Chains A and B, each alone.
Chain A
Amino acid sequence: MSDTTEGRPDGAAPAIELKGISKAFGAVQANKDISIRVMPGTIHGIIGENGAGKSTLMSILYGFYKADAGEVFIAGRKTDIPDSQAAIAAGIGMVFQHFKLVENFTVLENIILGAEDGARLGPSLSKARKELTQLAAEYELNVDPDALIENIGVGMQQRVEILKALYRRADILILDEPTGVLTPAEADHLFRILEGLKREGKTIILITHKLREIMDITDTVSVMRRGEMTATVKTSETSPAELAELMVGRKVLLRVDKKPATPGANVLEVEDLRVVDDKGVERVKGVSLVVKAGEILGVAGVAGNGQSELLEVLGGVQTGTGTIRVNGQEIDLTGSQSDARTRRARGIAHVPEDRQRAGLIMDFKAWENVAFGYHDDPAYQSGLLMNNAAIREDTEGKIERFDVRPANANLPAKSFSGGNQQKLVLAREIERNPDLLLIGQPTRGVDIGAIEFIHQRIVELRDEGKAILLVSVELDEIMSLSDRIAVIFDGQIMGERLPSETDEKELGLLMAGITDTTHDHSVEEIEANLARAHGEVH
């Protein structure tokens, strides 16, 4: 192998080297001529916006996609990775953003799946059990081997994924947006595990869109933009501002210009709201809150703590118990009148968290989507039939006012970019002149240019005296848009703060369920708290 190190003076071959990787999906060029070197025993960050091509690149490395062009070198040796099998054989382990676990299998069964010894299961299981105890002690990766995946929390599931990779003797570990589902404390624990792995000589690639994580833990960082690798720099020699600029290609205004709020009367009053999901688990546990006219209430929290359910009950998508009043009038939460249609009739507009799954029908044309949810509007009818011409005309106006591109009402929703899809939804909901706007993850998967536009429209709506309930897992977004912040944890509101009187640290503790924010808390304490909330017994 000595010839493949190209006789470089330091002698160490990169753990991974990619040369000229390109990949196109149809007309979209996801990766353009990407070259990168990852040195062994380092934590290498890859940062970029949604859709920058990070995940595609890693999927190529894991054998999920075949690159159109380019070469992969593992430890200096040119390696073909046609499938996951080859990636595993090359010592690559991957922790996907969406875990690849079998829900009704035990932790142990998930770990040995695909890496069994021999045709009979018994010996494989007992061998894995022993090894697991060892790994757990070595890297602080404690899990109950006999627990079913569906019964453990997301943090634990992520550890199972890491264990899967280590059990397969991975030397290179790729983590794709690993902290999206974690609290700051859980994320800290994850980073400690990663530091431990690095000390043992493992190479780690961390894919994220969060600048803070890059600055905290990585040794080197590569920046991707629109399918291209724009830079690779030592983390110690760069700054968040520089990275942000590299990510988007220009200076970013992270602050939103807005006047102080002038709150009016209560528009939304929620008292003791409770939501039980299909599995009988209580997801919202007695939430009470108020949103006034002319203010934005931001709900902060780690994904999966009940904020989605809160939004859905308010939007009429789910049922719940408790009291909700809009403009002083109570809303039916369980009866036959409890659906999204009656909510809209009461002046509630709703921009859902997942626009592709709920907010739009991806195969419907733009104009069909503009009628979506408002298909009963008399303006859209002519006799027994729908007045498609009127809907089209309305759509063309919205496309112009919200600068939707391409400006073609006949294109299906799936043909628009994430930002333009969101503008379509926003146009539909805002132009109904609602008293209350429910808006979830307004800028998830949206390009920077559209983010500014969307933030401006939300603030404008507030200035018109409307009440706005904003749910977002991006703490930056909550901090910059909200007039008041409520923090949700385990289905309960932990407290309310004014943006001017709080900081990310305090909010982070509240998001982990710790209300006593004046003292320092150990990670163990926070973890124990989370475990209780997830209903785990140890």
Chain B
Amino acid sequence: MDFLTVLQILDSTLRLSTPLLLACLAGLFSERAGIFDIGLEGKMLAAAFFSAATAAATGSVWVGLLAGIGASLALSGLHGVASITFRGNQLISGVAINFLAAGLTVLIGQSWFGLGGRTPSLIGGGRFEPITLPFAEALSGVPIIGPLYAELISGHTIPVYVALLCVPLTWYILFRTRFGLRLRAVGENPAAVDTAGVSVVGLRFAAVAICGVLCGIAGAYLATGLQAGFVKDMSAGRGFIALAALIFAKWRPWYALYATLLFGFLQAISLRPDVIKSLVGFNVQIQLLDALPYILTVVILAGFVGKAVPPRAGGAPYVKER
């Protein structure tokens, strides 16, 4: 296996990890604030559809991105109303949002485009184009570092870099700001936040909104970056892999990066059975690779490799108590 193949696989790892990472950080904000979100999948799907549809109509990927974020935010708002305002079951609300997105995207897609739920293929300004980082050309001659920079680090679309930047940003917000302190507190003991004179509802809605924005970027990237248009059910379980990665990462931002890179790598390598064979010497079943993120998460959840302790107040609506 040559250097170029390694680069190719790492390159697609990065691209495939991006939606997982964005969705995982989205979930991190929500769950750190005590709102469980199994509706990441639905929000991504809705964002993918509306970004692709809008980009197709306007020819601008940026307008598409905004539409995607808007759609995702709307579903976030619904989740917030159900689980914060009306103190409903957060898990059930998440399930409903997933189905709502799965059904509505096809229904509206069929009505708008009549392509069986697809959007027209995006061309030109309707997609995110790869950007070349400075000196990529100049450095490409340098052995190892050159191609590594030019092929792997440079030449991705903007959402990839945004996702990577979100990792330190998330860490900073959570652990170095007033908002982060309150956000973590509201996921651990909302009564402490409430008695300290801070609005539990406000904080939780803020967290859910951030979750919506990040899911929106993730979904828009799926349809306008990774692929050129929307197809039915295109999120394909990525929201659940992101959820798995979140548990795998024990609700921490840097670990989230590592977990999503790992799961992205598994997706990248399952596209290259020839490489797997040359690596391990025999055929590894694609189905096993597909299932691996889920199996790993179950192992982590079972506490065989360190214990994943979710935020203490997670999943429970806040009711004032004396």
What is the interface of chain A, defined by CB distance below 8 A to chain B? 55-56, 59, 62, 64-65, 83-89, 94, 96-98, 100-105, 109-110, 112-116, 118-122, 124, 164, 176
Q: 3 closest A-B pairs (Cβ-Cβ)?
A: A114-B196, A85-B197, A116-B178
Partner of A113, one of B175, B193, B322: B193
Whether A88 contacts B197 in the complex (CB less than 8 A), given A121-B176, A121-B178, comes out as yes
Q: A59-B322, A114-B198, A164-B196 are in contact. Are A109 and B181 (CB under 8 A)?
A: yes
B195 at the interface (CB under 8 A from A): yes
Contact status A94-B181, CB under 8 Å: no
B191 neighbours in A (Cβ, 8 Å) = 100
A83 to chain B, nearest CB (A): 7
Beta-carbon contacts of B188-204 to A below 8 Å, as 1s and 0s?
Answer: 11011111111100000
Beta-carbon nearest neighbor of A110 in chain B? B192
Q: Is the beta-carbon distance between A121 and B177 smaller than 8 angstroms?
A: yes
User: Are B181 and A103 in contact, with the CB atoms below 8 A?
Assistant: no
Kindly count the residue-residue contacts between A and B in the assembled complex, taking CB atoms under 8 Å apart. Answer: 84
* Chain B contacts for A109, CB-based, 8 A: 181
Assuming the A-B contacts A64-B320, A119-B177, are A84 and B195 also in contact, with contact meaning beta carbons closer than 8 angstroms in the complex?
yes
Interface 0/1 of B160-196, CB less than 8 Å to A: 0000000000000001111111101100110111111
Which residues in B have their C-beta under 8 angstroms from that of A65? 320
* Extra pairs beyond A100-B192, A120-B178, A121-B177 (6, CB < 8 Å): A87-B197, A101-B192, A103-B188, A113-B193, A114-B193, A122-B176
Q: In the complex, A113 Cα to B185 Cα: how many Å?
A: 8
Decide yes or no whether B232 CB sits under 8 A from chain A.
Answer: no
Contact of A114 among B177, B182, B188 (CB under 8 A): B182
Contact A83 to B197, CB < 8 A, known contacts A64-B322, A101-B192, A103-B189: yes
Contacts of A105 in B (CB 8 A): 181, 184-185, 188
- Contact yes or no, B322 A100, CB < 8 A: no
Q: How far is the CA of A112 from the CA of B320 in the complex (A)?
A: 21
Q: Write the nearest CB–CB distance from A21 to chain B, whole angstroms.
A: 16
Q: A103, B312: Cβ atoms under 8 Å?
A: yes
How far is B184's CA from A119's CA once the two chains are assembled, in angstroms?
Answer: 15
Min CB–CB distance A108 → chain B (angstroms): 11
Q: Is A119 touching B188 in the complex (CB atoms < 8 A)?
A: no
CB-based contact B189/A114 at 8 Å: no
Q: Which of these, B181, B197, B322, contacts A121 with CB under 8 Å?
A: B181
Would B188 and A113 count as touching, CB distance under 8 A?
no
A113 touching B176 in the complex, CB below 8 Å, given contacts A84-B197, A97-B322: no
Chain B residues positioned under 8 Å from A112 (CB to CB): 181
Cα-based distance from A98 to B194 in the complex (angstroms)? 14
In Å, the complex CA distance between A109 and B184 comes to: 11
| Contacting residue for B196 out of A55, A64, A115, CB 8 A | A115
Residues from chain A with Cβ under 8 Å of B175 in the complex: 121
B188:A104 contact, CB within 8 angstroms: yes
Distance in angstroms between the alpha carbons of A110 and B175 in the assembled complex: 14
